[in-house]
Amino acid sequence: MHVAIIMDGNGRWATQRGLPRTAGHVEGAKAVRTAVEVAARAGIDTLTLYAFSAANWARPAAEIAALMRLLGQYLFTETRRCLEQSIRINVIGRRDRLSESLLRSIGQSERLSAGGSGMHLRIALDYSSQHSIVAAARRAKDVTDLDQEGFRRLLHEVDHCLYPASEVDLLIRTGNEQRLSDFLLWECAYAELYFAECLWPDFDEERFSRALEDYSGRQRRFGALRRDSR
Q: Which helix (H) or strand (E) holds 50?
A: strand 46-53
DSSP, collapsed to helix, strand or coil, labels residue 76 as helix
Q: Is residue 60 part of a domain?
A: yes
Look at residue 164 in the predicted model and tell me its pLDDT. Answer: 84
**Has residue 93 been placed in a domain?**
yes
Alpha carbons 177 and 197: distance in angstroms, whole number: 8
Catalytic member of 8, 126, 159, 169: 8
Q: Catalytic residue among 56, 182, 204, 214, which? A: 56
Looking at every residue in the chain, the average pLDDT score rounds to 93
Q: Render 86-150 in DSSP notation, one character per residue.
A: T-EEEEES--TTS-HHHHHHHHHHHHHHTT--S-EEEEEEEE-HHHHHHHHHHHHTT-SS--HHH
Q: What is the per-residue pLDDT for 225?
A: 55
180 falls in which pLDDT band (50, 70, 90)?
Answer: very high
What per-residue confidence (pLDDT) applies to 223? 62
Domain count, the chain: 1
State the pLDDT at residue 145: 86
Mean pLDDT of 58-81: 93
Q: Residue 136 falls within a domain, yes or no?
A: yes
Task: Decide if 210 is inside a domain.
Answer: yes
pLDDT at 221 over 80: no
Across the range 176-197, mean pLDDT stands at 96
Residue 50 pairs in a beta bridge with 6, 124
Domain containing residue 52: CATH number: 3.40.1180.10
Average pLDDT (17-27) is 95
Q: Are 172 and 6 in contact (CB under 8 A)?
A: yes
Q: Please say if 8 is a catalytic residue.
A: yes
What's the confidence (pLDDT) of residue 142?
A: 80
- pLDDT reading at 227 higher than 60: no
230 located within any domain: no
From the DSSP assignment, how many helices (H) and strands (E) are in the chain?
7, 6
pLDDT of 149 above 60: yes
Mean pLDDT, rounded, for 172-184: 96
Structural domain includes residue 221:
no
- Predicted local confidence at residue 220, as pLDDT: 74
Q: Is residue 122 part of a domain?
A: yes
Helix intervals (H) in 42-90: 61-84
Where in the sequence is the domain holding 14, given as residue range(s)?
A: 2-216
Q: Distance between CA 83 and CA 116 in Å, rounded?
A: 7
Please report whether residue 74 resides in a domain: yes
